[in-house]
Amino acid sequence: MLRSIRSDFSIIKERDPAARGFLEIILCYPGFQALVLHRISHKLWKFKFPLAPRLLSQVTRSFTGIEIHPAAKIGQGVFIDHGMGVVIGETAEVGNRCLLYQGVTLGGTGKHHGKRHPTLEENVVVGAGAKVLGAISVGTNTRIGAGSVVVKDVAANSTVVGIPGRVVHQSGVKINPLAHSALPDTEANVIRNLMERIDQLENQVITIRTFIKSIKQETTSKDLEVLESQNLRDKEIIDFIGNIDKDNEVNI
């Protein structure tokens, strides 16, 4: 248990640039406090004293705003950043060096006994307000975007966003655990692709109409002027999906 507490302390110093000293982490980090108290309640739970660890978990919840069931299994080097509103269920398992932000729920589905909460493997990052529900497994080095709802298994080295959560990127590239907001905007990309396709179709319709008109006026197709549609230049669309510069980078 002491080894786990030391690793929890070390990971805060490693990942949080705001952590400046030993006493500050002990006294001012509710995530660290909740994990220390959970490790004590988890030991009591193993000794078959269910009431005492449950009472301790309730005291921890009142004190830190973080609710962790005493039976939950949490690995070493776990960092709960800020932590207010975090809920970790009874059969949940959190692997080593995972990072959970405020408002995260590792919840169960159904009323059956047995495994009903998620398992996070090592180095998983769960963004603020994300919900991971059910007896599912989230692979190593996976990032779950803020506000996402994950209800299916996720392979390793993935990026998951949306409601319901879906994998938008998968690779073996090492990620920065603090960059949980650097996620692709899949909805904007889909809308942009659709609008570009609409532009192409509108251009074709305009060209065909102009060609038909030219036939009636006995002009040649060489005289035709291909006009551009204006959809992607509409202010409302640009405000929503962002503009694209010459390097194909999105400017929001």
Per-residue pLDDT of the chain (252 residues; tens, 9 = 90+): 677 777 777 777 777 777 777 788 788 888 888 898 998 888 888 887 778 889 988 998 888 889 999 989 998 888 888 888 899 988 999 989 899 998 999 988 877 778 889 999 989 999 888 999 988 999 898 888 888 899 888 888 888 888 887 777 666 555 555 555 555 556 666 677 787 788 888 888 888 888 787 777 765 555 555 555 555 555 555 555 555 554 444 444
Strand partners, 8: none
d(CA 242, CA 115): 43
C-alpha dihedral sign at 154, 136, 4, 62: positive
Question: 109 with 140, same domain?
Answer: yes
- Give pLDDT, residue 226: 52
Q: What is the pLDDT of residue 131?
A: 92
Do residues 112 and 40 both lie within one domain?
A: yes
Nearest to 176 by CA among 25, 17, 55: 17
pTM score over 0.85: no
- Domain closes at, from 170, 196, 211: 170
Does residue 161 belong to any structural domain of this protein?
yes
pLDDT at 88: 92
Same domain, 211 and 152: no
pLDDT at 233: 52
- Do 105 and 87 meet the contact criterion of CB atoms below 8 Å apart? yes
| Structural domain total, the chain | 2
For residue 242, give its domain range.
Answer: 186-251
Task: Evaluate whether residue 176 is within a structural domain.
Answer: no
CA atoms of 205 and 5, how far apart (whole Å): 67
Examine residue 179 and state whether it is found in any structural domain, yes or no. no
Same domain, yes or no, for 112 and 56?
A: yes
User: What is the 8-class DSSP label of residue 111?
Assistant: S
> How far from 25 is each of 33, 74, 143, CA to CA, in Å?
9, 19, 25
Nearest Cα to 140, choosing from 182, 81, 97? 97
Strand partners, 250: 244
146, 170, 194: which is the final residue of a domain?
Answer: 170
In a domain, 178, yes or no: no
Domain C-terminal end among 145, 170, 195: 170
**Domain-located, residue 181:** no
Is 130 contained in some domain? yes
Statement to judge: residues 119 and 7 lie in one domain: yes
Domain membership flag for residue 13: yes
Identify whether residues 226 and 108 lie together within a single domain: no
In a domain, 118, yes or no: yes
Q: What is the domain-level CATH number for residue 74?
A: 2.160.10.10
The predicted pLDDT at position 219 comes to: 54
Which residues lie closer than 8 Å to 183 by C-beta, 6 or more apart? 127, 143, 145, 159, 161, 168
- Are residues 112 and 11 part of one domain? yes
